[in-house]
């Protein structure tokens, strides 16, 4: 069969995941550098996202599907734990990192520095410096929602102004909730009599 091809850019954490899966399994592959939305990528992924994979007549997109394919179709150490309950826990955390952690830390926080969406094209340092040190499990969801606000500012002229006004109101509400959030009380262990 033809060699496994992994297509994408090396800087992408999702491309890195499938390359690590191939490395862990000991699977040789050809890395083909291609940017998102390039013809090579759009030929396989309908939305033009990376990574994509080609293995003979088999093409796949989405890092989780590609990692699963590598694990199931090549010899080498298993990437899954082999226990249905433990595998489900792994899937749970893969999903969490992909949908929450990556979205907050990479897509929102890091990209806010690289591609800021504020009027002056600068991140709101004062707000970031205040909120980031207090980021914890109990307020993580609020932080994700807060970081996604710029995505809701769209349009031009009066439409953009309306979205910006709504975004500022939502930001004020979320910042207040973030500041007020307190960790849930953790019950103390009850000592067991000897």
Query: Over the stretch 160-193, which tens digit does the pLDDT of each residue have?
Result: 888 888 888 888 888 888 888 776 543 444 444 4
Name which residue leads in pLDDT, 147 or 50: 50
* C-alpha span between 33 and 102 (Å, rounded): 22
42 with 78: CB under 8 angstroms? no
Mean pLDDT lowest among 37-46, 72-81, 101-110, 135-144? 101-110
**pLDDT at position 38:** 94
- pLDDT one-digit tens code per residue, 7-50: 999 888 889 999 999 999 999 999 999 999 999 999 999 999 99
Computed over every residue of the chain, the mean pLDDT equals 81
- Name the superfamily (CATH) of residues 4-73: Glutaredoxin (3.40.30.10)
Q: Per-residue pLDDT for 3 more than 60?
A: yes
Domain boundaries, the chain: 4-73, 84-180
Distance (Å) of CA 188 to CA 45, 181, 192:
50, 21, 12
19 with 29: CB under 8 angstroms? yes
Please, how many CA atoms are within 13 Å of residue 75, restricted to the half-sphere of its CB?
Answer: 0
Cis status of the peptide bond prior to 51, with omega within 30 of 0: yes
Q: Which of 130, 112, 109 is nearest to 122 (CA)?
A: 112
């Amino acid at each position: 069969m033809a060699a496994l091809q992994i297509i994408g850019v090396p800087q992408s954490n999702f491309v890195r995941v499938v390359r690590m899966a191939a490395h862990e399994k000991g699977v040789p592959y050809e890395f083909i550098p291609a940017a998102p939305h390039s013809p090579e990528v759009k030929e396989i992924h309908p939305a033009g996202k990376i990574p994509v994979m080609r293995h003979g007549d088999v093409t796949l997109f989405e890092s989780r599907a590609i990692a699963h394919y590598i694990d199931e179709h090549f010899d080498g150490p298993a990437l899954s734990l082999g226990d249905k309950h433990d595998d489900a826990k792994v899937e749970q955390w893969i999903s969490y990192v992909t949908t929450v952690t990556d979205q907050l830390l990479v897509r929102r926080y890091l990209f806010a520095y690289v591609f800021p969406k504020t009027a002056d094209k600068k991140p709101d340092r004062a707000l970031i410096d205040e909120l980031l040190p207090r980021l914890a499990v109990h307020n993580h969801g609020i932080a994700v929602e807060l970081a996604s606000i710029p995505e809701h500012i769209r349009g031009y002229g009066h439409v953009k102004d309306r979205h910006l006004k709504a975004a500022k109101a939502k930001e004020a509400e979320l910042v207040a909730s973030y500041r007020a959030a307190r960790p849930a009380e953790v019950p103390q262990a009850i000592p067991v009599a000897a």
